[in-house]
Amino acid sequence: MGQIEKVAVIGAGNMGSGIAQKSAQELFDVQMVDREEEWVERGHSIVSSFLQEAEDRRIFSSKQVGEIKSRITGVVGTENVDPSTDLVIEAVFEDFEVKKVVFETLNDVCDKHTILASNTSSLSVDELALATGRPDRFVGLHFFYHPAKNRLVEVIPATRSSEASIKSVEQYCKAMGKVVIVCKDRPGFVVNRFFVPWLNEACLLLEEGIGTTAQIDAIARSAFSIGMGPFALMNLTGPPIALHSTDYLSKQLHTPRYAGSAILRKLVEKGELWEIGDSEEYDENTRKIISERLLGQVFSVSAQIVDEEICSMEDVDRGAKVGLRWEKGPFELANEIGIKKASQMAVSYSALAGLELPEWFSSRAKEFEFSYVDLTVEGEVARVRLNRPEAMNALNVDLVSQLGELVKSINSMPDITTIVFEGAGKAFVAGADVKFFVDKLRDDSFEEIYEFTAHGHEVLNSIENSEKVTIALTTGLALGGGLELALSCDYRIGTRRTQFRFPETSIGIYPGLGGTQRTARICGLECARYAVMAGNFMSSETASDIGLLTHNVDPSDVEEIVKSLMGKKPNEKYPGRPSNPESDIVRFATEFYSDKNVPLLELGKVPSDYDSEDPLVSRQGKSLSRVAPIALKIASELITDVRSGSSLEQGLKLELDRLEEIFSTEDAIEGLSALIEGRRPSYTSS
């Protein structure tokens, strides 16, 4: 079973068309299938509407929109699906019998290798798998609305799903830029298991007269740090969906508390939406009752999810943050308000709802600790997954510390010859956690910034100096510290979805985890200046030509390349020259970023003998003029120093030695703050 390239989506409604659109955006060939021509055309119309909105907001160009649409082929009739399709996702009504008929047809039509999947939010995945006729090549999927925008997807293997099928579908979802939660087949899966009863609990609070819709929404927004309360959310998605979902959970989990409240049922019967008034004022007693009931419900059910081993507590939090856009997940909220208090809330709610609360939560005294780095061992290969996709795997203190401990442990394993690093979600690693730097600068705690960076050097050096073969699967976005992590590895494998960038000079600092040193030693000073000084985005082709990617391959060939590299150290890790000196970008970088131009470039200026109308020259000039001048000069000096013949160890020490100089500038706090605040920085060279 190989890489998924061709996808079909059965059902051209809002969900189906959204899945088709997102798949096409990520370069998959897609068939959008429905029973009637008019429904297929409606699906195309929905896609066109969303893409027009994206074009209006300059997310896509008109050319890109045209290319996306060209990858979606309308098909009338499930029986007309291309037999060679790799993955077929059923996205029809939540009706078992309807889905069963679809799968029976697909089983007859599709080749033996085709994986079938159901986009379901409630039905039993095991029962659906049996209905397909190929339970080993079936996986449950739960996309969240709108699938082209919401980054979460729950992957639910059936009991008989093969490991190859699960991995293929998970890789497809990752290529779609999705944050993937792999979970057990239990009613509600992960997010709906705690979210749907949360909506119903709000209805019960209203029914009991404890608060109005406006008050409950306001208190929920405050307690959970969210943008919309439960009633506003139900109005957005439709009260009938909430009623259907909560009744389903009540029946499947034998929990009467979850049965749709009378007030919700009456609203649905009338076909109305919630009336939410403008008056949100409430007294302290009302706030306490409502917030503690809603928080207690979420804590109690989340504890059950983890206790039943449906998924990890990290994935529960991830589901809340990515799928529901909560600022913090249930377990993070428990830490924030205090474990003892959170436990008391959960105990109270569990008694009210007749639920059994796991003892490890009810009697907990210590804060929850979260793991951001996962290890799986496959023969002689240790796979390390950086698993913080809700933050694009950004490097924070905990992740770097956990990564260091794990690498140290793997380095001591005699049977392991190869370590493969990869990121969960779309990104490999999207840099360091910028908020950490801003917080420490505002607290006048540079020492903590230095300690974090110095520890990062130790961790990357443990990868650099490992006797194992180290491989970075940079098959997505790798920015700043993430790219520096990749450069410490022996090999970097990329695909057409790879993007590299050093954004540091544009945010007031310089790459401080080896970016100036390893880059120059890999591809030479001129190409390093192109990459670092102006912070140019590099496609997989450019990164390969420069030499930052050691392998640029088709997505279907990634695992074969990994196998070919196992146990084989590179002959020359730091050649000091670009891989393809004949490429247009390398030719330009070699000339434009030559020694003679450096003095002007350090001032953010373009040499006068270059045509300012040339798009490439213009882009460099614009980028250089917008970066922080002090950061630009220090980055340039650190790169140039590589020519002195200093060792990598000495060069890395130079990066650390100049940290205080750069972080003491006004430009550093301005650039970092501007990034967080979503505005363009204004630098003063101070």
The label of the residue with tokens 């090999």 reads 491
How far is it, in rounded angstroms, from Cα 591 to Cα 593? 6
Residue 142 is a catalytic residue: yes
Residue 192 is a catalytic residue: yes
How far is it, in rounded angstroms, from Cα 565 to Cα 58? 41
How far is it, in rounded angstroms, from Cα 473 to Cα 23? 21
Backbone φ, ψ for residue 160 (5° rounding): -100, 5
Residue 636 is a catalytic residue: no
Q: Name residue 494's beta-bridge partners.
A: 552
- Segment 100-104 long-range contacts (CB within 8 Å, at least 24 positions apart): 100/128, 100/131, 102/10, 102/78, 103/128, 103/131, 103/132, 103/133, 104/131, 104/132, 104/133
Catalytic member of 121, 161, 544, 673: 121
Cα–Cα separations (whole angstroms), residue 64 to 19, 29, 68: 18, 15, 6
**Which is it for the CA torsion 139, 319, 388, 676, positive or negative?**
positive
- Segment 569-574 long-range contacts (CB within 8 Å, at least 24 positions apart): 569/469, 569/490, 570/490, 570/491, 573/490, 573/522, 574/518, 574/521, 574/522, 574/648
Catalytic member of 192, 261, 466, 536: 192
Catalytic member of 26, 90, 118, 154: 154
For residue 126, the SS3 value is helix
Report which of 491, 466, 523 is spatially closest to residue 639, judged by C-alpha positions.
523
How far is it, in rounded angstroms, from Cα 12 to Cα 26? 18
The label of the residue with tokens 């120093």 reads 641
Cα–Cα separations (whole angstroms), residue 338 to 289, 320, 331, 368, 493: 17, 19, 10, 10, 43
Sheet holding 477-479, edge to edge: 427-430, 477-479, 499-501, 538-539
Find out whether 550 and 671 touch, Cβ atoms under 8 Å: no
Q: Which amino acid is at 52?
A: Q
Catalytic member of 142, 312, 457, 673: 142
Q: Which amino acid is at 266?
A: K
The label of the residue with tokens 């059950």 reads 304
> Residue 296: CA atoms inside 13 Å, Cβ hemisphere, count?
24
Sheet strands (E) in 487-553:
491-494, 499-501, 538-539, 551-552
How far is it, in rounded angstroms, from Cα 491 to Cα 471? 5
Write out the catalytic residue numbers: 121, 142, 154, 192
